[in-house]
A and B are shown apart, each in its own frame.
Chain A
Amino acid sequence: MSASLTMEKPWQRWLIRFGVFVAMVILVVPGAWVVLTAFRPNIEILARPAVWIPHQLTLRNFQGIFGLLTTQPGLPVVQYFINSLVISVTSTVVALAIGMMGGYAFARYRFRGKGALFLGFMLSRTVPGVALSLPLFIVWARIGLIDTELGLIIVYLAINVPFTIWLTDGFFRQIPVDLSEAAQIDGCTRWQAFWRVEFPLARAGLASAAIFAFLTSWNEFALASQLSRTTASKTLPVGLLDFTAQFNVDWAGMSALAVLIIIPALVLTFVVQKQLIAGLTFGGVKG
């Protein structure tokens, strides 16, 4: 905003562009390297001195993952993918449903202990997930949730619900109470007023909350690697570990799978990008 208001001199503009360029390089290069690695033979990847410009590109790494090569057995990627999808979608949908109700309640109703409860939710987000892995493991082992999809779904719900509440609270707060009241005078029940007026207006916010929740679950590695064992619950990020053997790591295969993991996330983000940006800026004004 301020850039458009203040007149900058040409050298300032170039400085800004250069800064943006450096920042983008730092952000993009590791990702690009992974993508590049996914299409190169392992020999070239491990070559010393490093080969910067690839001599040959190949799809062998991907074929390897799906077991299309005779030289090595494939991985159960399809099962991992299904696990990831089931866990991410379920935890996102449930987190959104609970979070939306919670956020609405925080935004609209006054009740005892509201401030403390809200603070509590936010503080729960300050605990790094890994710190929970040992206690979680012990409890989950006791009640038999180790290596189950349900076990991971519950964990991701615990992570996503407070965040969704925080986000949707902000969005509902921005919608004037008058609108719901006007709808009620126009003949709606409180429930109808919510679905007909407040929900459509909060949709951008809910979409961004959904993406955040989905990506959190989709990408999560630390906890999933502790709590899943077999194809019964292993997710794609945990599947990456299959490429590490005792003495060597199949970087090419790992990169190829990483690319496969990124694609759905990218597609999803692009599809809802417009809503997401609207949502982020909309929520950003929250006081």
Chain B
Amino acid sequence: MANVSLKKVVKRYGREEVVHGIDLEVAHNEFVVLVGPSGCGKSTTLRMVAGLEDISDGLIEIGGRVVNALPPRSRNISMVFQSYALYPHMTVRENLGFGLKIAKQSDSEIKKRVDEAADILGLEPYMERLPQHLSGGQRQRVAMGRAIVRNPDVFLFDEPLSNLDAKLRGQMRVEIKKLHQRVKTTVIYVTHDQVEAMTLADRIVIMRDGYVEQVGTPSDVFDRPANVFVAGFIGSPPMNLLDAVVASAGGRPVGRLIDGVDVPLPGDVAVREGQEIVIGFRPESFAPRGYSLHGAENSLAMTRPVLIAEPLGTETILFAELGGREVQGKMLNPRVVKAGETLEFTLDLARLHVFDKASGKSLRG
């Protein structure tokens, strides 16, 4: 059993605190992704788990054992670095076997396990090459191979795919997922790419400025973002976020946008009249009539000229004006749309997100 738990973990560099008391429970064999914008403390947190950074305050436990004072080698973890950190003076075979050699395994055992890992990752053709003679994708594989060879309790990944081109990144993402299904281990994976987070994670931890903003399954954070930050961070294209003031129309609470449009609020939000709120809706929830996921009922119809149309094949992203801002909508199974064309859009009210403007917190129950 190798669950990882962080209890009020703090990191300070000198007087500056960069991680502010993080609590996190990673279950045995769970794939947890830390995601957040650059500089939010993802790497720092991961490196504290690895033992590469001192823990300023709080506790980190791996498999129920407090590891605060243990050096990296005693934590039975593996880490894949963004730079891959392959040993330049060792062949692929030596790179893979290095950890086992340090652990004084027998040559036959090393060979067996290295060959096994090479087989899983398709590294056989390059075993005697030096890292400098490998492509980026091959280096990435070697780095992963080096991590799995030692059969660790916990895998740590720090942006392992960010040095690959988009296509290769997609392929490796799938491979990592396959690898996790095959080699069941606890994984903590750091990325700033929300697509990677959504596709790989059992649970996502969204961080900002050294705080955890939300922890949840991909559908949790996508469908029920806890605050404006998470709402804007997860999803691509991002959620549309419009300032509004709560008013009452026909006895029902509405959010009055800056341009005077009233958006009926869902019944389960607790608001008071005059409250400043942020209304959020995903591009999927804003589409021309007949090209949307949602039906006509419980939706708000409006006619808008299209500012820009971005055809992507199976869908077209449409830009229109609402609430004094440019918003993005998604047209499914699209026909050709020209900029300047006027369309009737419908806004899915069932999937509306409502946040308090002052605190940023979600107001949906």
Contacts and interface: CB of A to CB of B under 8 A. Distances in A.
Interface of A: 176, 178-179, 181-190, 192, 196-197, 200-201
Nearest to A175: B88
A184 B156 CA distance: 14
A192 B87 contact: no
B138 to A, nearest CB: 17
Interface in B295-319: none
B177 to A, nearest CB: 23
B77 interface: yes
B83 A176 contact: yes
B102 interface: yes
A197 B102 contact: no
A186 to B, nearest CB: 4
Contacts of B103: 187
B234 interface: no
A137 B150 CA distance: 61
B85 interface: yes
A178 B85 contact: yes
B87 A197 contact: yes
B72 interface: yes
B204 interface: no
Would you list the 5 A-B pairs with minimal beta carbon distance, nearest first? Answer: A178-B85, A186-B99, A182-B85, A187-B102, A184-B72
A184 B71 contact: yes
Interface size class of B (residues with CB under 8 A): 20 to 34
A184 to B, nearest CB: 5
Contacts of A187: 73, 99, 102-103, 150
B79 interface: yes
A188 B89 CA distance: 17
Nearest to A184: B72
A190 B52 CA distance: 11
B72 A185 contact: yes
Interface string B76-92: 01110101010111000
B98 A185 contact: no
B77 A185 contact: yes
A217 to B, nearest CB: 30
21 contacts: A178-B83, A179-B87, A181-B72, A181-B79, A181-B81, A181-B85, A182-B79, A182-B87, A183-B87, A184-B51, A184-B73, A185-B72, A186-B73, A186-B99, A187-B73, A187-B99, A187-B102, A196-B98, A196-B102, A197-B89, A200-B89
Contacts of A192: 102
Contact of B52 (A179, A184, A189, A201): A184
Interface of B: 50-52, 71-73, 77-79, 81, 83, 85, 87-89, 98-99, 102-103, 146, 150
Contacts of A189: 71, 73
Contact of A181 (B52, B99, B146): B52
B202 to A, nearest CB: 23
A185 B50 contact: yes
Contacts of A182: 79, 81, 85, 87, 146
Q: Which of A178, A185, A188: most chain B Cβ within 10 A?
A: A185
A33 B204 CA distance: 77
Nearest to A200: B89
Nearest to B146: A186
B91 to A, nearest CB: 13
Contact of B78 (A181, A185, A188, A201): A185
Nearest to B83: A178
A201 B99 CA distance: 18
A182 to B, nearest CB: 4
Nearest to A190: B71
Contacts of B51: 184-185
A11 to B, nearest CB: 40
A207 to B, nearest CB: 15
A197 to B, nearest CB: 6
A185 B73 contact: yes
A109 to B, nearest CB: 14
A237 to B, nearest CB: 38
A186 B51 CA distance: 12
Contacts of B52: 181, 184-185
A181 B47 CA distance: 10
Nearest to B97: A186
A182 B96 CA distance: 12
A201 B88 CA distance: 8
Given A182-B87, A183-B98, 9 more contacts: A179-B88, A181-B52, A184-B71, A185-B79, A186-B102, A187-B103, A187-B150, A188-B73, A201-B88
A176 B99 CA distance: 19
A187 B152 CA distance: 11
Nearest to B88: A201
A201 B130 CA distance: 13
